[in-house]
Amino acid sequence: MKKLTSGFLLLMCLISEVKAQQDTPVYDAAGTQADLVFSGTVVRQNCFLLGDSMPVTETVFSDIEIVRSVNPSRSGNDPEIRIVYAGGMLNGRALKIPDIPDLTVGKRYFVFVQDDGTFHPNPFPGGCKAVIGISIDPLTGGESLSPDSPCQPVMLAQ
């Protein structure tokens, strides 16, 4: 229950902080278009080809705190959440898609995502702004939203 309460408080802090910023329409859209809102830690990533041509990345989150889930039977009951999206690093070649966040293994994030069981090239409504880094205070263990953006410049395959 403590985790759910902290997740809810984190969402409330996010909403109140965002309301004061110009990006409010982006967060409103992300909140209404997202099937799943959660915080979690990236534990692993795997890039592979979807079909024969499109590189995609599967990012796996654990230590999950679900804030809202439209389809609780899809991800809400699993100890891990898997998100697959276009782009990634495969065989030494990188393909970064605009407005898809660059997530780091070991980091914790607050995520808005489309989790309806179908593949979305960019499942993050609102793009990079739908993923917010979480900082953990080493003294108290408390969580706060990080100002660092998980967005990276676009890089085409080499």
Closest by CA position to 71, among listed 37, 27, 100: 37
Q: Tokens at residue 103, please? A: 């997530």
User: Residue range 79-102: average pLDDT?
Assistant: 89
pLDDT in tens, 32-79: 778 899 999 999 999 999 887 889 999 999 999 998 888 765 665 678
Q: Is the pLDDT of residue 24 over 80?
A: no
Structural domains for the chain: 2-145 (2.40.50)
CA-CA distances (angstroms) from residue 142 to 6, 61, 114? 9, 19, 27
* Alpha-carbon span 37 to 59, nearest angstrom: 15
Question: 54-69 and 81-86 as β-strands: parallel, antiparallel, unpaired?
Answer: antiparallel
Closest by CA position to 51, among listed 86, 81, 82: 86
**What amino acid is encoded at 114 in this protein?**
Q
End-to-end CA distance of the chain: 48
Please report, rounded to a whole number, the percentage of residues in the chain having pLDDT higher than 90: 35
8 Å CB contact between 84 and 117 = no
Helices 24-33 and 2-19: angle between axes, nearest 10 degrees:
140
Closest by CA position to 115, among listed 50, 46, 69, 62: 69
Q: Please report the pLDDT score of residue 97 as a whole number.
A: 86
